[in-house]
Structure 1
């Protein structure tokens, strides 16, 4: 009997998705399988994009099987697919066709029961099913961007610090400040706390925080740690004094004059620095002195004295080092635990869930529940689980699914897990490749008894199989990767004593393609210049850029289209450099990573303009605008033109000379007709930008960066209103880093990060720089040091065994991350792979030096095309595999047909279709909540224009202003609000209701309250809020009230209505 749990190790290009789709078809078509069984199958993957692809592939497969002749140009391929599936399933083609027709019909008519989704979406469904058990409202919100929530809770928390510093929090803050001052450190509390707050979004860090005992973070404990450090410092000084007492009388026993002088120098150094030895002299002996000691190059009794001193000193320093790390983080960890507890309270009061909490909440909820109970709550029973990209699944995600898979296996239902530990590149999101390596056993690093029994059962019911063929790449590329990564893993094991064999045991693949391929590797190592050389980084970059440009040109000469080429970078910053370099050479580029909106000069001009409009009297903003405007419009003459507006006026102090100033009004009049034309009134941010484009001669239709900026403004208007100040703040924090999305076509080179390339394929891949760090400089990690936590940097130079072990673990994991990332990158190409490795310095945490040394092993001797070694100044290697084949098959992808508008009316809709939607990967359920909130807000503002709420919804739905799917829920919520006692009282005696009327405050500021209810002796300003409560809500309504009072409205009252809680708050 076949085992019900199949595990496929699917290397790159091995037909993983094909296998998943075939398994799905088998469960609904093969033999006695029923087509209606599709609702009992759930396929889960890692991203929305992958889930959509899998859905599309399943539907497409069923369509081809159902009616292979439906699409004439695809008939032969569809008939062959039907024949292959029929043969594999042991069925007649007409049987398969009939079952496929039934399955496709039912899936399309019951699409909500077609379960192909991300693990996060499945978890969200679980949480909604258990909302009552979690004390959550059924309509709770999910927060994807956690920063705003965390900052808001932190601000509210820190506002509790009282002037007298009497509360627990106040005392904690004072202790933190005093500690920083006593250590003589520069202190930016806000920045440091912000750094620590990042911990709260990490699954493994939350687990450590939850395990930490509150009592271990008392003031008494902190004082005890400081006392221990002082005692250790004293012991270090005493050890030095004892050494001096022993060594000074016998130093003349050393015959070798040079060695004697060295030890005398050590004595003098210790005597001169005795008071600072504990804090400053981590390593008291020089390399030479250590060599004398270890090689017994001194008299035996002196070697013993040195050894005793040195050994004890290192032991004491190691203890001090560890305690100092704990001490430095102590108050922040204590504060972090309190903020974490407050976040849990906030979740209950505000009915929100941060996305990072999903897995932990479900784990806590389900660990003691049986599968039948879970299914009862879920409302659906799944018999078959198909899990894709398993290597990127977090430990908690897998543990949460284990009970359900266990239940399915116990009923002998077929289940499938597909993954590849070599492509595990999302450890920073919690992915654990070891879980896949352990399969069919359940990964159990803590040896939990509850998992042990289940693990044994999974081992009994499961079987592993490698998908050993490669259908993507040419023979030469497959064979190159087989050789390269097999030998590289051996090299790392030999040179670094790190064994990655378990992750790369299925590296060798069988190439199925008949195409010819070509690989070129270049590694250039040059002697690093002095630290003060400012040009070294620029030259480093220029070597990579030269390589990139020359290889793009080479491919085009060989007959490839620009759209056949994909450039891969390690980071979005590198991708941006590549995009700018190619653009400057006249190449069109397509990228989701590289084209940051803020990299465009016209966008920079717009943001400077908005900043000036936000502060019209700011003379510096006016100068910055003039400089940028003139540099764009007149690059050759900008300085002269700018200086022509510099005038002089007398100083206030007659003794001083005249003062120069920039004639802003003259500049504006010359280039923008008039001051009034430049400082025009506006109703919303989108309109403000569109008008500015007109008066400044910017063309949004020719510049996708400007279009993207307008998109940002439009979406901000919808979600937050036309507040220029807060928009600029949003842009500075997050908006400027968003990238424009452009459609693919054969005339544009693709650019993306290696992470984004996973699952994709390209004819040509160019990697301009391989020498990237696998451990970030100054990156901090939350680590356990005995009973305390420390959020600290890691280094190989530490002496503490625990810190050294933490560094080794992170080094090993980081190097594997980078190795896997390059495996993903090297396996994307079909025809050609170009790689450049340029090294300026021998960093111990960079991949480049490892790659460079590896290329000098005998494995590559027969492939050496060029070699140049000039002492230590320069080492250059170039390797070639395969042959360059010119005139490849023409580009097959559909060219993007960008519409170019001719009429003014066309411009109204052109931008929305000319560029891809940059929000396509946002979780559907989150976006749905936002849309619903906006539509509820709109109806409440417009309600007075209709006889009742039913009529309002009917008419607005017909006009397309609200969605049909929301109509019933909207009607219930509106009736609930309008029938409330408070709402009715607010409208009693009303003479006039003013809805969303613009109030022009100045040339640059417009206010628009949702509703103003005017009575004989009273005015009520009513503002609707469909989202979370924020501090700015009350400030905003208060501001409205002050404006209306200045306009002589009688007795103005301001009220905010939070629609979710039906809570009226008066300011």
Structure 2
């Protein structure tokens, strides 16, 4: 494995890692190199590794423990372990024997102090900071975290709707909004609008733009509305006057529209629309009109001489109309804004209620933490932050850096700078091509622009060293070669030029000597057929063939862009009798080991309760931890009324080793060790993470751990990649970071103009009572803010391209893609370049590449 070495000349290391290039291996190696190079076996406490998902944190923890365990037992036969050991031996300047000895001691300390292994999601880490600074930030020490912002949004909307008819001010606002929407012949589901606005108020963009700015008040809406309508009328009147002047000139000259180029479709029709006050057409004329304006083509084929006689005057009038362009664009925006004024005025009401609910219930959103740190701790020196945390981190590792938001990076930056200032190494890893969370606030250009950016720093720039991981250790030659070629063309054809740098390091080298194939299939729908149903049928047919050749180790994942399509396909396949991974099979509560641990906790709390002892006995048999006749033992223990420790002693366990602990996390870790369960089990890792979060968030102050478990066990699940179902079905977003032997993808279309975000945040509007506003992007077409819409469309195109990249790079061996086909071509124009490949078979409407 040709992984870049840690032989560093500088301390701020950045790795740009395409899919399958050994990112997690590199992170794990960096971590192990740090801890093995230090004589202190607890030095792992000085390393902070930040990830962006619980799944990624769990994977890194698993890798660290795996390698330390293998080294401890001198198991160097495995190729990956051998490669890691050789690299660490070179970098740390120690022998494999020393690596084994040190790993054994480190692993022992790590398992005894598992909670001090700081491989954390960024949200969990920021939560620790906020807990330490609770009083400084104005929080009550026992505040609760609301992870799902939609629950608070629901409470806000329910409260607003409940006050309709009671609160006159609010009732009038909602009624006026509904009337405006109905008069404009628009949908006016006020509930969905309120929910959307509440979510937008929780966004980082809102906080950075105008959280502290004055909001439009209900009392000011009439004045603002009147001003907007006046501007619209004045502009329409001017435009109409110029248009009528041109029409009168044409009429007085004895001419008709047919005497002009393209008649009503051309310049004559343009003047008609201007006379009617058609603002949109005035700034967006068609090509026929532009041919007259720009090329001087005014006459029709009849060549009426009077057209030339009045052409210069018509051109002067046209210049007068064009001089109004700025005013017309403003008027177009004002026209669309008038229907949004009442929703804009609702923002203040929503924000007030949201703040009130959080205060009343002592709850905070995760997003609030970043805002608080930015507002109130921005000038706090990082050494004091460390001191409050009670643990001084010397080394900072950040995974998936392309997923950081502006506030997240500003929160982490002081830690990196402090580490670099003390001469310690730091690491960031990422891939801008896999940035698919912009809807959550991530900004991939922070990674692309490293080490500079919006807040440049001398240490970051002077210590920066960049590496590109260009080899693919995941996929077959067919998959790697196809993706190199496909995304080289797609990124060039589909993405705006300013994003070229993101795909500039696209090409990967093949390392895996395995057979594999890529199929790209165009599925044509006949009249009366439903496209998705036809696609489902074709995919099911392909799966059936795969099962005949690969069963029982199919390892197949089917990916969709939309949740709805994924759910429908899963239901379709289950209905046909296929083994499909279901949500229920991923629940923690479905694991026999988790069931035994939870029931042991209950039995320890109620040691004289025979019922709970019986459940533990049942779980022990279920996990095959005891042999013999279950019914006989269960009955005898019931008759003898054995408590939990007596029952365990009778089946060979030492009850003295089963001890109670102060918190649930320590108790679960202890019981896992008591039953000799490995924490590499994904269900146990998830249970430990849940218990640790419960403890750190102060959940024990409100209720016992088992009560919280009873409430949430129905929703706690592991990542689907850890399950054993032969066919996994999920969305592309959920597949990020996973890999499968076989991947099938339904890619219905690639369409420019489908925006990732719904709302634009506008500032400096220079409108009475309205300096800033949140408005739907569709209000910006042909307005002075059309560049904001175009920027969103460009970024959304990148989001979509990145989604496709993530999906196409999940396969280790075989990749099959299905897209809609119509009239001999792919329905999506950006995909049609594939039809020009020599491997494309037009009669079969498919492409096959194999290695």
TM category, shorter: 0.7 to 0.9
CA contact (8 A) 2:396 2:427 kept: yes
1:169 Cα shift?
5.1
Measure, in 1, the Cα distance between the counterparts of 2:756 and 2:423: 51
CA contact (8 A) 1:524 1:837 kept: yes
Gaps of 5+ in 1: 445-450, 597-719, 721-733, 869-875, 884-1067
For the residue of structure 2 that corresponds to 1:380, the secondary structure is coil
CA separation of 1:48 and 1:503: change in aligned 2, threshold 3 A: same
* Counterpart residue number, 2:330: 319
**Which has the higher relative contact order, 1 or 2, with Cα contacts under 8 A spaced 6 or more apart?**
2
* Counterpart residue number, 2:343: 332
Deviation string, structure 1 residues 63-104 (Cα, Å, up to 9, x no partner): 1111125x9xx7787567545532443212222122112211
1:699-848 map, 5 Å: 748-771=726-749, 773=751, 776=754, 780-784=758-762, 786-787=764-765, 788-795=771-778, 798-802=781-785, 804-839=786-821
CA contact (8 A) 1:131 1:138 kept: yes
CA separation of 1:877 and 1:306: change in aligned 2, threshold 3 A: farther
* Counterpart residue number, 2:72: 66
CA separation of 1:474 and 1:801: change in aligned 2, threshold 3 A: same
Deviation string, structure 1 residues 616-648 (Cα, Å, up to 9, x no partner): xxxxxxxxxxxxxxxxxxxxxxxxxxxxxxxxx
CA contact (8 A) 2:270 2:289 kept: no
Measure, in 1, the Cα distance between the counterparts of 2:714 and 2:394: 46
1:504-515 map, 5 Å: 504-515=503-514
* 2:420 counterpart (409, 414, 419): 409
CA contact (8 A) 2:51 2:400 kept: yes
* Counterpart residue number, 1:522: 521
Measure, in 1, the Cα distance between the counterparts of 2:714 and 2:316: 62
* Counterpart residue number, 1:396: 407
* Counterpart residue number, 1:344: 355
CA contact (8 A) 1:570 1:772 kept: no
Deviation string, structure 1 residues 329-374 (Cα, Å, up to 9, x no partner): 3332232123314433443343210222121112212211111111
1:1031-1042 map, 5 Å: none
CA separation of 1:335 and 1:519: change in aligned 2, threshold 3 A: same
Deviation string, structure 1 residues 822-876 (Cα, Å, up to 9, x no partner): 1111111111111122156999xxx96243332245xx23x22x115xxxxxxx8
1:147 Cα shift?
3.0
* Counterpart residue number, 1:694: none
1:284 Cα shift?
9.1
CA contact (8 A) 1:217 1:330 kept: no
* Counterpart residue number, 1:243: 243
Deviation string, structure 1 residues 108-131 (Cα, Å, up to 9, x no partner): 122222111100000111111111
CA separation of 1:271 and 1:792: change in aligned 2, threshold 3 A: same
* Counterpart residue number, 2:18: 11
* 2:48 counterpart (42, 49, 67): 42
Deviation string, structure 1 residues 195-237 (Cα, Å, up to 9, x no partner): 32221232212333414334x6574575245324324323323
CA contact (8 A) 1:254 1:260 kept: no
Measure, in 2, the Cα distance between the counterparts of 1:398 and 1:841: 48
* Counterpart residue number, 2:89: 86
Measure, in 2, the Cα distance between the counterparts of 1:439 and 1:384: 19
1:385 Cα shift?
0.5
Measure, in 2, the Cα distance between the counterparts of 1:268 and 1:460: 63
1:254 Cα shift?
5.6
* Counterpart residue number, 2:129: 126
For the residue of structure 2 that corresponds to 1:6, the secondary structure is strand
CA separation of 1:131 and 1:842: change in aligned 2, threshold 3 A: farther
1:182-581 map, 5 Å: 187-214=188-215, 217=217, 219-220=219-220, 223-251=223-251, 252=253, 257=258, 259=260, 262=263, 277=277, 288-298=288-298, 299=308, 300-301=311-312, 303-304=314-315, 307-308=318-319, 310-311=321-322, 314-441=325-452, 443-444=453-454, 451-452=455-456, 454=457, 456-492=458-494, 497-523=496-522, 535=528, 538-559=529-550, 561=552, 563-581=554-572
Structure 1 window deviating more from structure 2 (387-396 vs 1-10): it is 1-10
1:396 Cα shift?
0.6
* Counterpart residue number, 1:867: 842
1:386 Cα shift?
0.7
For the residue of structure 2 that corresponds to 1:799, the secondary structure is coil
* Counterpart residue number, 1:603: none
Measure, in 2, the Cα distance between the counterparts of 1:145 and 1:53: 24
For the residue of structure 2 that corresponds to 1:563, the secondary structure is coil
CA contact (8 A) 1:591 1:752 kept: no
Measure, in 1, the Cα distance between the counterparts of 2:823 and 2:799: 21
CA separation of 1:273 and 1:436: change in aligned 2, threshold 3 A: closer
* Counterpart residue number, 2:664: none
* 2:113 counterpart (104, 107, 110): 110
CA separation of 1:750 and 1:154: change in aligned 2, threshold 3 A: closer
1:35 Cα shift?
2.6
* Counterpart residue number, 2:848: 880
Measure, in 2, the Cα distance between the counterparts of 1:850 and 1:261: 30
Deviation string, structure 1 residues 991-1024 (Cα, Å, up to 9, x no partner): xxxxxxxxxxxxxxxxxxxxxxxxxxxxxxxxxx
Measure, in 2, the Cα distance between the counterparts of 1:40 and 1:386: 11
Normalising by structure 2, we get a TM-score of: 0.74
Normalising by structure 1, we get a TM-score of: 0.60
Measure, in 2, the Cα distance between the counterparts of 1:376 and 1:736: 39
Deviation string, structure 1 residues 467-494 (Cα, Å, up to 9, x no partner): 111111112211221222123222335x
CA separation of 1:271 and 1:50: change in aligned 2, threshold 3 A: closer
CA separation of 1:248 and 1:266: change in aligned 2, threshold 3 A: farther
CA contact (8 A) 1:42 1:385 kept: yes
Question: In terms of Rg, which structure is larger?
Answer: 1
For the residue of structure 2 that corresponds to 1:503, the secondary structure is helix
